[in-house]
Amino acid sequence: MEARAAKPNIQQIRTDAPRDLLKLVVVGHVDHGKSTLIGRLLYDTDSLPEGKLEELKVISQRRGMSLEWSFALDAFQAERDQAITIDTTQIWFKTPKRDVVIIDAPGHREFLKNMVSGAAAADAAVLVIDAAEGVREQTRRHGYLLHLLGVRQVAVVVNKMDLVDYSAQRFGDLVHEVTSYLAGLGLEPSFLLPISARDGDNVAVPSTNMSWYDGPTVLQAFDRFHVLTAPVEQPLRLPVQDVYHFDDRRIIAGRIESGILRAGDTLLFSPSNKIVKVRALEAWNAEPPIEAHAGQSVGITLEEQIFVERGEVISHVENPPPLTSVFRASLFWMGHTPLEPGRRYKLKLATKEANVTAETIERIIDTDSLAPRSGDKVERNMVAEVIFRSREVLAVDEYRSLARTGRFVLLDGYDTVGGGSISLEGYPDQRDALTIRSTNVFSVEHGVTGTSRAERNGHTGGVLWFTGFSGAGKSTLAMEVERRLFQKGYQVYVLDGDNVRRGLNANLGFSPDERAENIRRVGEAAALFADAGFICITAFISPYQADRDRARGAAQRVDTNAFHEIHVHADLATCEERDPKGLYKKARSGEIRDFTGISAPYEPPAAPELTVDTGNESVDDCVAAIIGHIERNFTMKERSGG
């Protein structure tokens, strides 16, 4: 046994050259040897505390075991008694080229929440597989979690090769199985290593038992991973951790997640949209630096005093994070209570905490077959794609672009129940819609009041906002309602794609951002019609609730009762069967991108003032319902005979 524990000679660690920090998460099925591997690494790199080796020998002998490296990590007596790891543990050591912090994540099914928390902070991952047991359910689940959390660098370590007589054939079979599975997730392993962690084969030095393997050792693989925690070439992201008051200074503190920050930089705070210059970078009892890089914690003072709070994200003006109140999440669920639409949770994203509501479960993923299926709830240990909505606007990044600010954790009360990554595919950046660029604009009162207009017209002004799928019948109903109201003497006008896209919005295309701007302009124009005393009917798909809410806000500047959302409902199958302009057919063939209901989302109104169902009701019945609604809510009593 003593010979087995002999320390190998590894390359001398350099301390004279700059050293970066690599964050690793170690995952795998329970009992496949993760903790043993890490314990052996600590021993081989002289990172065990003084006297720890002797303690391990005593503990192992007392239990009638050979030297057990995993005991080097088990901080809790409960772990030794149960022979499982129940919490994440951070272990620090040095390779010849860099400093490494390993996040030892539990493999047991009941403790996956700790694995999610650990992987969310990692640059790379080590997936450990028992050579004898092979790929297990938990192995696949952990692989999928790495994919969800945006960990793109993965070393697959086939451990316990001594149990299969160091068979190259067995190693090759397992490599084929696991690489095929990871390929289905879009992951390609960075390294594939056969090892025996207990005996040190291919951990720090090449194994004499596996001469057929000529790849790197585990330590060499660690030195070949790319460090992602300090991506200085990426856009600046500095989540605000806190604001401190020293003498007459207000120091904003946080950790730079990406990019470089320099004194004199012009910064944008999101989501508040405040712009200000950096006066200085601050240091405690030291000369202030002129710049700071990703991975560093910094304090800054600003040239102007502005109100800043924890959770805001600092960026440069040129490349800010998108702002949104809705996003799509690839999610792993760990809550004892299933996730269901309508349930509210606390989102933790960098330093920001916000309440979000699960709006729609788009699909549930089988982690074994990777096949999607529908469902109305997400049970414990399931993977799903879910749409979340927040009442407040959030500064987020897509995890594919900036992983550190595109990963999140969900809490239910104080319990971590989920984690995942953010996608904004199909959703617009709401920043432009929230940014007011006009200055020196002053309100001038009209000489004609709204009351005077209403008395002359016999009705108040308002906006009837028709929303629904293409083919639901919005324009058909709008034009017929307009015709009948005009016959009754109403001041009425319809805004739809045909008349606004030819002029007012002729410069806009159909990307999510351009569609959002299209609806913003229509909302403002409709509000002006309402202010002029007209009943303005709009007929637009307007798929995003946030855009319709902004249109409501514009109309409510005229009158709090001015905006009425009318859901023109027909299910997707009915609309596609009608397909009056052949758009669905083109969308299905790929000729039209970002088509609502096919390749882009539609968010039904949460609380419309009126819903008409054109799939089950006639045009006349729907028109009558809409006109009745208008007469009840906009007509003066004298005209209605009251």
- For residue range 45-102, list pLDDT tens digits in order: 887 777 777 777 777 777 777 776 666 665 433 333 444 333 445 677 888 888 888 8
**Helix intervals (H) in 273-364:** none
Percent of the chain with pLDDT over 70: 85
197-224 mean pLDDT: 93
Q: At residue 561, what is the residue type? A: N
Q: Is the pLDDT of residue 2 over 60?
A: no
- What is the average pLDDT value for the chain, to the nearest integer? 84
Report how far residue 407's alpha carbon sits from residue 396's, in angstroms, rounded to the nearest whole number: 9
Nearest to 127 by CA among 178, 162, 198: 178
Q: What's the pLDDT tens digit per position in 219-262?
A: 999 999 876 545 677 899 999 999 988 777 889 999 998 899 99
Q: Kindly tell me if the per-residue pLDDT of 598 is higher than 60.
A: yes
Q: What is the dihedral of CA 376, 381, 383, 385, to 10 degrees?
A: 50
* Phi-psi label, residue 209: left if phi above 0, alpha if psi -120 to 50, beta otherwise: alpha
- φ, ψ of residue 603 to 5 degrees: the values are -105, 105
- Residue 339, classed as helix, strand or coil, is strand
Q: Are 78 and 65 in contact (CB under 8 A)?
A: no
Question: What pLDDT score was predicted for residue 495?
Answer: 95
pLDDT in tens, 105-130: 544 444 344 445 545 567 888 999 99
Catalytic residues: 542
Q: What pLDDT score does 108 carry?
A: 41
pLDDT on residue 115: 47
Rounded distance between C-alpha atoms, residue 495 and residue 466, angstroms: 10
Q: Kindly report the number of other CB atoms within 10 A of residue 578's CB atom.
A: 17
What DSSP character marks residue 161? G
pLDDT at 211: 95
pLDDT digits (tens, 9 = 90+) for 433-447: 766 555 444 555 667
Residue 508: both structure tokens together: 């806009």
Tens-place pLDDT, residues 388-413: 988 888 999 998 788 778 889 999 98
- For residue range 300-340, list pLDDT tens digits in order: 999 988 888 899 999 999 999 999 989 999 888 889 999 99
Beta strand 407-412 with 415-423 is antiparallel
Give residue-wise pLDDT tens across range 533-566.
999 999 999 998 889 999 999 999 989 999 999 9
* Inter-residue contact 209 to 162 (CB < 8 Å): yes
Task: From 319, 350, 352, select the one nearest 255 (Cα to Cα).
Answer: 350
Residues 462-504: tens digit of each pLDDT: 999 999 999 999 999 999 999 999 998 899 999 998 889 888 9
- CB of 196 within 8 A of CB of 171? no
> pLDDT at position 3, please?
38
Tokens encoding 623:
């028109």
Helix (H, G, I), strand (E, B) or coil at 282: strand
Q: What is the predicted pLDDT for the residue at 157?
A: 96
Q: Quick one: pLDDT at residue 289?
A: 85
Q: Residue 265: pLDDT band by 50, 70, 90 thresholds?
A: very high
Q: What percent of the chain has pLDDT over 90?
A: 43
List, as own/partner pairs, every contact residues 432-441 make where C-beta atoms lie below 8 angstroms and the sequence separation is at least 24, other chains included: 432/513, 432/516, 432/517, 433/516, 433/517, 433/520, 433/547, 433/550, 434/271, 434/273, 434/323, 434/393, 435/273
Q: How far apart are CA 641 and CA 482, in angstroms?
A: 22
pLDDT of residue 369 exceeding 80: no
Q: Is 101 left (phi over 0), alpha (psi -120 to 50) or beta?
A: beta
Q: Mean pLDDT across the stretch 175-204? A: 91
- In the numeric block, which tokens belong to residue 454? 């209403």
